[in-house]
Chains A and B, each alone.
Chain A
Amino acid sequence: KAGVTQTPRYLIKTRGQQVTLSCSPISGHRSVSWYQQTPGQGLQFLFEYFSETQRNKGNFPGRFSGRQFSNSRSEMNVSTLELGDSALYLCASSLRLAGGPVGELFFGEGSRLTVL
């Protein structure tokens, strides 16, 4: 069974631009979560999508958004990039029943974003 796939693996943007990251979950997983990893703040929860709906959101500004498609693939978008957005963005998928907890998270290898 294929794991969680994230694209692109590396990207470089300049301040003010926007970026879209993609995540394909493990087949059968309907929940996709996004985390930001930086040396200073560590791993921080961005948001979780389940059945094409954002179910939960972390403490990030509105510049960070996402969506989930009917095949459970998810994208996250960051608009008006700032230097501080440079980070490793990790996607994780999990089995989750409606109304139930997020199960074990299976992570992708991440997308390394550098903002110049």
Chain B
Amino acid sequence: AQTVTQSQPEMSVQEAETVTLSCTYDTSESDYYLFWYKQPPSRQMILVIRQEAYKQQNATENRFSVNFQKAAKSFSLKISDSQLGDAAMYFCAYRSDSGGSNYKLTFGKGTLLTVNP
């Protein structure tokens, strides 16, 4: 079974600075997707960024980018120019691309990000 580990329960960053959230995963599969989701205090989970394992290029969405290291099974999220609205719980998630397991996400335990003004 796949596992996702987020080793940083909490992180803090000053507004306008950069922060990196870590995520490692364990899988024997070669085809899969990785995601970062954000859950603000209002609780609605929002997709921040996704990465297909077959793509070597790291995904980028505005101020959010990832560092995907397939061999190391590492998938970190970098938030540049942090804003107060970035404060939330961030979850790293894995989804298999194989027919038998492509229906669910496996989540890490989350990292609570605080943004200080």
Residues of A within 8 A of B (CB): 3, 33, 35, 42-43, 45, 48, 55-56, 58, 88, 90, 92, 101-102, 104-110
Contact = CB atoms under 8 A, between A and B. Distances in A.
Range class of the B interface residue count: 20 to 34
Q: List the 9 shortest-distance A-B pairs measured between CB atoms, nearest first.
A: A101-B102, A107-B45, A43-B107, A45-B104, A56-B103, A42-B109, A109-B44, A102-B103, A109-B43
B91 interface: yes
Q: Which of A35, A42, A102, A110 counts the most B-chain CB atoms under 10 A from its CB?
A: A42
Contacts, number: 47
Contacts of A88: 43
A46 B82 CA distance: 34
Contact of A104 (B43, B44, B47, B102): B47
A47 to B, nearest CB: 9
Contact of B103 (A101, A106, A108): A101
B98 to A, nearest CB: 9
B110 A90 contact: no
B108 A42 contact: yes
Contacts of B47: 104-106
A82 B47 CA distance: 32
Given A90-B45, A108-B44, A42 B102 contact: no
14 contacts: A3-B44, A42-B109, A45-B104, A45-B105, A45-B106, A55-B103, A101-B95, A104-B47, A105-B45, A105-B47, A105-B105, A107-B46, A108-B44, A109-B43
